[in-house]
Amino acid sequence: ETGVTQTPRHLVMGMTNKKSLKCEQHLGHNAMYWYKQSAKKPLELMFVYNFKEQTENNSVPSRFSPECPNSSHLFLHLHTLQPEDSALYLCASSQALLAGGLTDTQYFGPGTRLTVL
């Protein structure tokens, strides 16, 4: 595997379900990000982790719970979601925050298409 991978690629869940999205990066990076892409809206940053520490929570509802066990893996735990949470969830990674210059360029995974019924 190379780059940034995400599983599953598609997920359908009911509002009472609990599911998790997984992201893995094979680039030796130390910063990882979750973005939400909804129809007709710009990508929205949700969470940022740098060296496994959460550095940003962009006012995301608590029904989204991130977890970063190590610099290569990032999870997004989902519970009691709403239909408006249906979107494409994109994971990205970069070398590290404050690494300086364009080494902070973010590289994206293919996304998980989430549908909440």
**Token digits of residue 42:** 């710009």
**What's the min distance (Å) between Cβ of 80 and other proteins?**
26
Binding stretches for other proteins (CB under 8 A): 31, 33, 40-43, 45, 48, 50, 55-56, 58, 88, 90, 92, 94, 97-98, 100-102, 104-111, 113
Considering the complex, state which of residue 50 and residue 85 has its C-beta at the smaller distance from other proteins: 50
- Residue 95's nearest CA partner among 107, 86, 85, 104 is 104
CA distance 108 to 25: 9
Between residues 10 and 79, which has the closer beta carbon with respect to other proteins?
A: 10
d(Cα 117, Cα 101) in Å, to the nearest integer? 42
The CB-of-16 to other proteins minimum distance in angstroms stands at 27
